[in-house]
Amino acid sequence: MEEKDIFEKVIEILKPYVRETEDLKTATKETDILNDLKVNSSRLVDIILAIEDEFDIEVSDDEADEVQTIGDTVSLIAGKI
């Protein structure tokens, strides 16, 4: 799977958790999930679990703690599939 496809899937996964879905239209790899998209920090776990289900991968706690931007998420997934 190409990074572009992963990026699009990540955007889909993030949709239910962002305060303003409009923000996702301009999101880039540098977009910070918590600060720019205003995702509640306690929902990060839900996002990680959704990613595990979608891409059939396992993400460790340490790896999850490193995720800050959409680019981090895409790189993490790309490294596992």
Partner 1 sequence: MNTTHVHQKDPAAYGRVLFDMKEKEVHKISAPFRIRFRCTIQKWVDWVCFPLLAPLIIFILKYVQKNRIRDLKKVRMLFKRIAGESKIPTLICANHLTKVDSIYIHHAFASLPYYWRHFRLFSWNIPAKENFWTKPLDRLVTYLGKCIPIVRTGSPEHHKEVLDTLRYLLARGELCTVFPEGGRSPDGRVNVQNVRYGVGTILNGLPDYRVLCVYMRAESQKKMSDMPPKGDTLYFDFKVITPQSMQTGRRAERDISRTIIEKIKEMEDLYFEKHKP
State how far the Cα of 14 lies from the Cα of 47, in Å rounded to an integer: 7
Instruction: Work out whether 48 is an interface residue with partner 1 (CB under 8 A).
Output: yes
Residue 25 CB, nearest approach to partner 1 (Å): 24
Tell me if 35 contacts partner 1 by CB under 8 A.
no
Q: Which of 32, 46, 63, 72 binds partner 1 (CB under 8 A)?
A: 46
Are the beta carbons of 25 and 14 closer than 8 angstroms? no
What residues line the site for partner 1 (CB under 8 A)? 40-42, 45-46, 48-49, 61, 65
